Amino acid sequence: MGLYSISAKLNNGKDVSLDEFKGKVLLVVNTASACGFTPQYEGLEELYQKYNTQGFEVLAFPCNQFGSQEQGSDEEIKSFCDLRFKATFPLFSKVEVNGKNAHPLFNFLKHEKPGLLGTEKIKWNFTKFLIDRQGNVIERFAPSTKPLDMISEIEKLL
């Protein structure tokens, strides 16, 4: 199964095929509103504003699997992102990224780009996957990697 055969539900409830993002550079992130890394939303928005016109998208997937740091409803999460960070990039419905109920997108990403020592499990919120215009998973970034620290890798793909 390839990236573009996967669908996901946007925060507003609309199903979207990732095929709609074909030909774009993607940064897929599992996010949370009450995490120490939550301020990274600001950097994600900055990247989105800077590179979106060049074919770059940030796809944010809220997840409550790490320390119960994303307990809100989809509406509450959207409101938080809008008010606190003025986030304009696509925000999806809350998903699981590990375990038997993991979203197919994250199963694909983890398989294509395992973490340290080959582990596929996502360890925490704000793990980031950089995908090229052909749908290849190029890099996996740790939660501690700040969005603006990825500029050179993003620019290489644009």
Report, as residue numbers or ranges, the catalytic residues. Answer: 35
**Per-residue DSSP letters for 73-122?**
-HHHHHHHHHHHH---S-BBPPB--SSTT--HHHHHHHHHS--GGG--S-
Contact 114, 78 (CB under 8 A): no
Task: Count CB-CB contacts under 10 A for residue 5.
Answer: 12
What is the distance between the alpha carbons of residues 132 and 87, in angstroms, rounded to a whole number? 22
41 sits in which H/E element: helix 40-51
What is the distance between the alpha carbons of residues 52 and 19, in angstroms, rounded to a whole number? 17
CA distance to 2, 44, 47, 67, per residue, from 89 (Å): 23, 8, 10, 25
Task: Count CB-CB contacts under 10 A for residue 13.
Answer: 8
